């Protein structure tokens, strides 16, 4: 019976962790290029006998990992020539203070130095890992990532993909980092198309996310009632049955 207390309490803890992930997804349903997260957990049940030959059951539940879904988001037409959307796999490469980062958010602009930057001011990198500097009057982006300034090709966008996207970690700055660059190196993706004048929307659906939050909330309530029922039974066994 005591195992029931542990099982219900662990389930409630897991649900709270899932609600944190749902809240993050819901808060980013309008964030361009956002990729929704899912919490993966695993449960193990072992049954055996102790030294006295009594049958014992042990249940263990633990959080496995936060899994990111890289499913393609919707294409949103903006008409802004500095808005880029990736159709297919891959990420735009961005220069960060502690290394290269990756993003699907193609909302770009030029800073005062003529450098192509994200809306947060981080410099975009070309296919050679160098910042992209654009000087001229008319910029055009090709579907293959080529950048033309006044009709002349000046650079190519750095677009990277990975064999194991599970090793990409979403940061507080909205950029992805590669947790294992040695065993999971970046490579040029196949089948990706750059669409100028578009932005990729978030792949987190607000309605399904809200439904998941409600379902998990009801599961939390059920575990809470189960926890109280076990606690009441144990209290009754101690205070009343023990008197007999």
pLDDT confidence bin for 220, thresholds 50/70/90? confident
Quick one: 178 and 100 in the same domain?
yes
Quick one: 51 and 116 in the same domain?
no
Quick one: 106 and 173 in the same domain?
yes
pTM: 0.78
Quick one: 82 and 178 in the same domain?
yes
Quick one: 80 and 196 in the same domain?
yes
Residue 19 CA to its chain's centroid (Å):
14
Helix 2-27 with 206-239: angle, nearest 10 deg: 160
Quick one: 62 and 165 in the same domain?
no
Quick one: 91 and 120 in the same domain?
yes
Would you say 213 and 22 are in contact if contact means Cβ atoms under 8 Å apart?
yes
Quick one: 126 and 217 in the same domain?
no
What's 183's DSSP letter?
T
The strand pairing partners of 178, in sequence order, are 168
Length of the chain, in residues: 244
Mean predicted confidence (pLDDT) in 167-192: 91
User: What is the Cα–Cα distance from 195 to 126, expressed in whole angstroms?
Assistant: 17
User: What is the Cα–Cα distance from 168 to 162, expressed in whole angstroms?
Assistant: 9
* 180-197 pLDDT per residue, tens: 999 999 999 988 999 999
User: What is the Cα–Cα distance from 75 to 197, expressed in whole angstroms?
Assistant: 10
User: What is the Cα–Cα distance from 68 to 34, expressed in whole angstroms?
Assistant: 10
Quick one: 23 and 125 in the same domain?
no
Structural domain that includes position 101: 75-200
Quick one: 96 and 194 in the same domain?
yes
Question: In this model, does residue 26 exceed pLDDT 90?
Answer: yes
Quick one: 179 and 115 in the same domain?
yes
Quick one: 83 and 174 in the same domain?
yes
Based on the structure, what is the number of domains in the chain?
2
Q: Quick one: what percent of the chain has pLDDT higher than 70?
A: 85
């Amino acid at each position: 019976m005591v195992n029931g207390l542990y099982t219900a309490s662990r389930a409630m803890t897991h649900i709270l962790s899932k609600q944190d992930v749902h809240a993050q997804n819901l808060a980013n349903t309008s964030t361009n290029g956002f990729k929704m997260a899912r919490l993966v957990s695993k449960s193990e049940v072992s049954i055996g006998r102790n030294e006295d030959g009594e049958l014992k059951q042990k249940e263990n539940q633990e959080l496995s990992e936060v899994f990111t879904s890289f499913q393609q988001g919707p294409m949103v037409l903006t008409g802004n020539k500095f808005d880029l959307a990736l159709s297919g796999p891959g990420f735009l490469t961005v220069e960060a203070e502690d290394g290269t980062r990756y993003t699907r958010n193609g909302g770009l602009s030029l800073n005062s130095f003529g450098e192509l930057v994200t809306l947060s001011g981080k410099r975009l990198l070309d296919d050679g890992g160098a910042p992209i500097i654009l000087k001229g009057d008319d910029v055009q982006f090709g579907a293959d990532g080529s950048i033309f300034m006044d009709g002349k090709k000046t650079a190519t966008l750095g677009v990277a993909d990975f064999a194991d996207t599970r090793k990409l970690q979403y940061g507080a700055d909205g950029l992805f980092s590669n947790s294992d660059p040695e065993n999971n190196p970046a490579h040029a993706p196949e089948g990706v198309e750059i669409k100028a004048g578009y932005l990729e929307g978030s792949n987190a659906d607000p309605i399904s996310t809200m439904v998941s939050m409600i379902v998990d909330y009801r599961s939390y309530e059920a575990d809470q009632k189960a926890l109280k029922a076990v606690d009441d039974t144990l209290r009754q066994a101690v205070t009343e049955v023990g008197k007999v």
